[in-house]
Homo-oligomer: A and B are copies of this chain.
Amino acid sequence: SKEIPLDEEDKWENSEYFSSYGQLKLHSEMLTDVPRTSTYSLAIQSALPWLQDKVVLDVGSGTGILSLFCARYGKPKKVYAVEASDIAVYSRETVSKNGYEDVIEVIQGNINDISLPHHQVDWIISEWMGTLLLFEFMIESVINARDKFLKPDGMIWPSEAELFLIPCSALSAYNGSMGIWKDVYGFDFSPYLSLAADTLTGKPIYNHTLSPDECLSEPFTILQLNMKTVTVSQLEDIRTAYDFLVKRSGMLHGFASYFTVHFSHLPHPHTPVTLSTSPQSKPTHWKQDLLLLDSPLQLEEGQRLKGTIKLTRHKLWRRHLRVTLTYSVWEDDTELNEAVTKIYRLWR
């Protein structure tokens, strides 16, 4: 309850969080996510020869794959692989097994607590993205690492991140959550509708696969982060107004979100590398996130869908956030419905 004061450990639920990242299944999923892992590999290869003799910090290094890419391709002076979960023990062994124990030092600990033999680093690399880009707020560890360890002219990768919103059809997801209750084998199950709106559509569906032809408009950029300058306080309360032009008539069941991250700002010419989780890109383990409406809306080409989206970080549970979505449909200068507001929780 909100009345009970929590200590820092509780607020971050670190023992829960790091024990889940101590589980190998998650790492197996991330490693076998080829668009994710090979994009990091390609990006690191684009950083040569700048990487030579540099000191690198890999924040939340997991199995150590990003550190190993750096060591293999880049001749860095040192790579610090910082990982709080028990997977650190295995990643240290893997570093040795592959002959990189002189280059990569695995440090098991929380980035906020540790110190580094090299007090400053040239480069921070991390894979911190989650549901709705921000969920679990691992990004705060990366920002803290930057403020604590990165040289003023150092680089941070990803260098930029963007979060997109797009109105979409999602018939089978809608039916599985809301549509089903109207007629269950001929019975009226509508008493479950309020519970469904609270518990099923009340949080984002984070394992949704959107097909490009279900998108009813071009995406809207609801958040743009420069990783070199973004501050933690900027992430506490994010508000954006959006205005979608409907490109394709169809049923609006919800809004999908996805993100891109970029690997740029190298001091030498290079091919810009981007990792995207858009429905047009190769599927990643993030898939897309879906914010389902309680009631679908028929949209016609040429109408506009206007509203606001708020991402509010939970004040108490620091890894959680809420999305508040307000929307209405416009034709020319007429608002066709009263604006609807719905709140989605991840997870509190």
Residues of A bordering B, CB below 8 Å: 23-25, 27-29, 31-32, 37-38, 41, 63, 65, 68-69, 72, 90, 93-94, 97-98, 175-177, 180, 184-192, 195-196, 199-200
Which partner residue on chain B sits nearest A41 by CB separation? B185
The 10 closest A-B pairs by CB, nearest first: A93-B191, A94-B191, A90-B191, A98-B187, A97-B188, A24-B199, A68-B187, A90-B192, A24-B195, A94-B189
Supposing A24-B200, A196-B24, A199-B24 touch, asked if A69 and B185 sit within 8 A by C-beta, the answer is yes
Interface of A is mostly: helix
Which of B23, B184, B191 is within 8 Å of A65, CB to CB? B184
Q: How far is the CB of A275 from chain B (nearest CB, A)?
A: 16
| Assembly CA distance A195 to B28 (angstroms) | 12
Report how far A262 CA is from B335 CA in the complex, Å: 57
Which residues of the partner chain B approach A189 to less than 8 Å between Cβ atoms? 63, 94
Minimum distance in angstroms from A276 CB to a CB of chain B = 20
- Could you list 11 examples of A-B contacts with CB < 8 Å? A24-B200, A27-B192, A28-B177, A28-B180, A32-B176, A38-B185, A65-B184, A68-B187, A90-B192, A90-B195, A97-B190
Instruction: Please measure, in the bound complex, the distance between the C-alpha atom of A306 and the C-alpha atom of B41, giving whole angstroms.
Output: 45
Q: Is B31 in contact with A94, judged by CB distance below 8 angstroms? A: no
Report the separation of the CA atoms of residues A41 and B187 in the bound assembly, to the nearest whole angstrom. Answer: 13
